[in-house]
Amino acid sequence: MAVELASKKPVLIWNKTFETMERNELKKVQLERLKSLVERAYHNVPFYRNKFQEAGIVPEDIKSLEDIHKLPFTSKYDLRDNYPFGMFAVPMEQIVRLHASSGTTGKPVVGAYTRNDLALWGEVMARTYTSGGVTAKDVVHNAYGYGLFTGGLGFHCGAERVGATTIPISGGQSEKQIMLLQDFEATVLGSTPSYSLVLAETMDQLGVSKGDLKLRVGFFGAEPWTEKMRVEIEERLGLEAFDIYGLTEIIGPGVAVVCPYHDGLHIFEDHFYPEIVDPETGEPLPEGSVGELVFTSLTKEAFPVLRFRTRDRTRLMYEQCRCGRTMVRMEKITGRTDDMLIIRGVNVFPSQIEEKIIGQEGIEPQYAIYVTTNEKRLDDLEVQVEASDKLYNQGKEAIDGVAQKLTNSIFQTLGINVKVTIKDPRTIARSEGKAKRVFDLRKSE
């Protein structure tokens, strides 16, 4: 029996059977699915068969969920080495869709879907929307980019599954977006957190206030964003902001989402099995530790992944949530293991800097971080932020004052001196999709 479900917030659940399944039952389902996955991967993907042979294991060695630790990891490099179709477990004629990650350097990661995989995607995205209280009565304004990026079509299929009216606007053309938000009376927004702030800024420029919109909830993800950013977005757009997590390697959006309690993201672990490992050694860490998130896709057909190293840092929480879901929660992702900057020996996560910037009076929630090496071969970190129109009009003295304040507050947290540059209004590049905010120029030297 599940623990008391005395929820004080209205909670809607799409798939009660699985989302509130008793954990021992869930484990049985996971084990059964894991065994079948291992068989499929071993027999249909030469890459996995070779890895099993190197590790000296066969599918029959997986007898319990703990045995998952015997399986080899899969890394982003493995996927690149097998580009484009080497990881697929079914013949091409069964594959009905391909997607790809942005792959800013080198070849992208290719995701493949059978009909059943697309149905699964619709299911987990329907769970996602429902977690935010979305029903067939809602109108969904989907500003995630359509195309190879999984965001657009992932959000699309879930909205249709719950029966909401779906507006496939995609990213960009911000003024038109504001017009349609008003005219079509959307109640739900989907976009990257950074693009939602571009929309908020466009509203300001057009003299449209949040009271002119009907937005009630928004689903934001695809990039790290802080709690401060959440408050800012909620305040400016007049909605409740839900954090949503996913990645191309696992399915796209729809891997995990917060519930109305906003205390961690529930992972749909009947399909995506999570582990936390030490990012250095790969050893599994004790329950509750912060480490690197690893996923095994239990049910995907075209592109199954075993123990994929996401490089995302988080912690898993197995305690029952007040919403009634039994699915494990992961803490908000504040960065990737490879996002961490080492500045003169000090570990710095960009999110720690974002925490200081958002909400600071006089500046906009836009920033860029530059890391360089100076003539003494020491690391320098520059934080560029943008003055609000008000601060800009107050002149140099006021601007210098804000810069000093920000320098001090970053020093207090990180213990390092950074150079804060306050740029003129609207001079930091805005993004329609995922924002690029960190420029580590040391790597190219």
CA gap 219, 138 in Å, rounded: 14
Among 140, 222, 237, 403, binds ligand ADP (CB under 6 A): 222
Residues 6+ apart with CB under 8 A from 77: none
Interacting partner of 368 out of Zn ion, ligand ADP, none (Cβ under 5 to 8 A depending on kind): none
In DSSP terms, 265 is beta-bridged to 258, 330
Strands (E) in 124-239, as ranges, are 139-142, 165-167, 188-191, 217-221
Binding flag, residue 245, ligand ADP (CB under 6 A): yes
Binding flag, residue 102, ligand ADP (CB under 6 A): yes
x-marked contacts with Zn ion along 226-265 as a string, rule CB under 5 A: ---------------------------------x------
Residues 395-434 that bind Zn ion (CB under 5 A): none
* Residue 58: Cβ within 10 Å count: 12
Among 143, 323, 369, 410, binds Zn ion (CB under 5 A): 323
Interacting partner of 310 out of ligand ADP, Zn ion, none (Cβ under 5 to 8 A depending on kind): ligand ADP
State the minimum distance, in angstroms, from the CB of residue 191 to ligand ADP: 12
Specify whether the CB–CB gap between 310 and 247 falls below 8 A. Answer: yes
In DSSP terms, 293 is beta-bridged to 276
Binding flag, residue 321, Zn ion (CB under 5 A): yes
Residues 312-371 that bind ligand ADP (CB under 6 A): 312, 333, 336
Our CB check for Zn ion shows the closer of 323 and 435 to be: 323
> Burial, 317: exposed, middle or buried (Cβ in 10 Å; 0-12, 13-18, 19+)?
middle
CA gap 188, 216 in Å, rounded: 6
Our CB check for ligand ADP shows the closer of 394 and 431 to be: 431
Interacting partner of 218 out of Zn ion, ligand ADP, none (Cβ under 5 to 8 A depending on kind): none
Binding flag, residue 221, ligand ADP (CB under 6 A): yes
Residues 327-346 that bind Zn ion (CB under 5 A): none
Our CB check for Zn ion shows the closer of 208 and 330 to be: 330
Specify whether the CB–CB gap between 383 and 369 falls below 8 A. Answer: yes
Handedness of CA 264, 268, 269, 270 (dihedral sign): positive
Binding flag, residue 244, ligand ADP (CB under 6 A): yes
Handedness of CA 294, 296, 297, 302 (dihedral sign): positive
> Burial, 49: exposed, middle or buried (Cβ in 10 Å; 0-12, 13-18, 19+)?
middle
Among 30, 114, 142, 310, binds ligand ADP (CB under 6 A): 310
Interacting partner of 101 out of Zn ion, ligand ADP, none (Cβ under 5 to 8 A depending on kind): ligand ADP
State the minimum distance, in angstroms, from the CB of residue 260 to Zn ion: 7
Distances (CA, A) of 244 to 28, 154, 253, 258, 354: 27, 12, 7, 7, 19
Interface residue list for ligand ADP (CB under 6 A): 101-102, 221-224, 243-248, 310, 312, 333, 336
Interface residue list for Zn ion (CB under 5 A): 259, 321, 323, 325
